[in-house]
Amino acid sequence: MEIGIPKEIKNNENRVAITPAGVINLVHAGQAVFVEHGAGIAAGYPDQDFIDAGATMVDAPTAWAKDMVIKVKEPLASEYQYFRPGLILYTYLHLAANKPLTEALLAHQVTAIGYETMVGADGSLPALTPMSQVAGRMAVTLGSQFLQTQFGGKVVLLGSVPGVAKCQVVIIGGGVVGLNAAKIALGMGAQVTVLDIDPKTLAKIDDEFEGKVQTLFSDHQNLTLSVARADLVIGAVLIPGAVAPKLVTRTMIASMAPGSVVVDIPIDQGGIFETTTHATTFADPTYTVDGVIHYAVANIPGAVPRTATDALTAVTIPYAATLGRLGFTEAVKVDRTLFTGVNTYAGLLTEQAVADSLELPYHALSTRL
């Protein structure tokens, strides 16, 4: 199989879909890899590194013309021109909040595999986990930054100093993102509260931090009280493949002190705050609603592209090698994780959560192979 790696064109998306080590793995597995010129420079990988690994450097149209295209982020509208029947697209898709992309994939009969819906045998999300770890950890440092006076924040230090009250960090969702956000927030000296609907998740958080993190059931009352007193609120709720639930209302946001900050990590799935009405970019990362600073960048790990690229490709490229070796049909039959990642196939929407979110017809992949 010929595999194309185009350069990411999303605003300040500096990651690349493969490392030179990943190229070596695919080449050794019998695949031919074609990387767009300059695709890895921002992540610290110059073209020569890919050439030395066995890749061929090409332009964007050539990369997109290959049997399978591996990316980091979902294609933008300007890339829809490359869609065609039979193309295998392997990337983060987040279709539940992106009907135009979904419709374009269906219209051009693209086989689209989304990292974010690939479910492992243990119920984990192997291709999403490393970026969730990065995003969770970065959310705290970003929130701390925007609390500073030069950004219009609450003019407080997240961890404070001895003798001065610590900041209140509220994390909504205790999964991978929430756990990693809690680690950094607690390490910086903040008072941390994690809310979740799952008692087992709350018990895990309590054990992980030996009771140093406040855990609460995520009901309306606890959310209302927690958000009102928070200096920084981090949205960390994910329903794989589905649009994110709007858990924090505008009334809750209005109860926060001016200059407080919210970071809506699942904004690429629609976000959990009623007031995060649209995603932002690194070029213009925030907007203010009712005096509260909203950080809604949809590709947070893109700010640390070397770390993020290395972590992402370590888990995604082995599945790509399986696709290349066996071909799509056989690969998804023998690898259940790949099977669960298929969002569109032969003009049909095969991801139930996306279909429900967008109110489009769903077709079970198992009946189409």
Alpha-helical (H) ranges within the chain are: 20-28, 47-53, 60-64, 99-107, 129-146, 176-187, 199-208, 220-229, 250-254, 305-326, 328-334, 336-341, 352-358
Residues contacting 351, CB < 8 A, separation 6+: 95, 114, 117, 241, 342, 343, 344, 362
101: helix, strand or coil: helix
| Cβ–Cβ under 8 Å, residues 360 and 344 | no
What string of pLDDT tens digits covers the 369 residues of the chain?
999 999 999 988 999 999 999 999 999 999 999 999 999 999 999 999 999 999 999 999 999 999 999 999 999 999 999 999 999 999 999 999 899 999 999 999 999 999 999 999 999 999 999 999 999 999 999 999 999 999 999 999 998 899 999 999 999 999 999 999 999 999 999 999 999 999 999 999 999 999 999 999 999 999 999 999 999 999 999 888 889 999 999 999 999 999 999 999 999 899 999 999 999 999 999 999 999 999 999 989 999 999 999 999 999 999 999 999 999 999 999 999 999 999 999 999 999 999 999 999 999 999 988
- To which residue do tokens 């987040």 refer? 94
Q: d(Cα 181, Cα 228) in Å, to the nearest integer?
A: 19
Query: Pick the catalytic residue: 94, 108, 294, 363?
Result: 94
Q: Please confirm, yes or no, whether 356 is among the known catalytic residues.
A: no
- To which residue do tokens 């929130």 refer? 143
Give the per-residue pLDDT at 159.
87
Give the per-residue pLDDT at 12.
87
Using the Cα atoms of residue 309, residue 312, residue 318 and residue 324 in order, give the sign of their dihedral.
negative
pTM for this model (two decimals):
0.89
Give the per-residue pLDDT at 67.
98
Give the orientation angle of helix 129-146 with respect to helix 176-187, to 10 degrees.
40
Tokens of residue 230, six digits: 């928070």
Residues contacting 207, CB < 8 A, separation 6+: none
Q: d(Cα 143, Cα 154) in Å, to the nearest integer?
A: 11
SS (H, E, C) 249-291: CHHHHHCCCCCCEEEEHHHHHCCCECCCCCCEECCECEEEECC
Phi, psi of 368 (to 5 degrees): -110, -10
Query: How many angstroms separate the Cα of 208 from the Cα of each of 22, 155, 182, 203, 280?
Result: 33, 31, 10, 8, 33
Task: Provide the 10 A C-beta neighbour count for residue 219.
Answer: 10
Query: Pick the catalytic residue: 196, 268, 294, 363?
Result: 268
| Cβ–Cβ under 8 Å, residues 131 and 312 | yes
Alpha-carbon 131 to chain mean position? 6
Q: Please confirm, yes or no, whether 268 is among the known catalytic residues.
A: yes
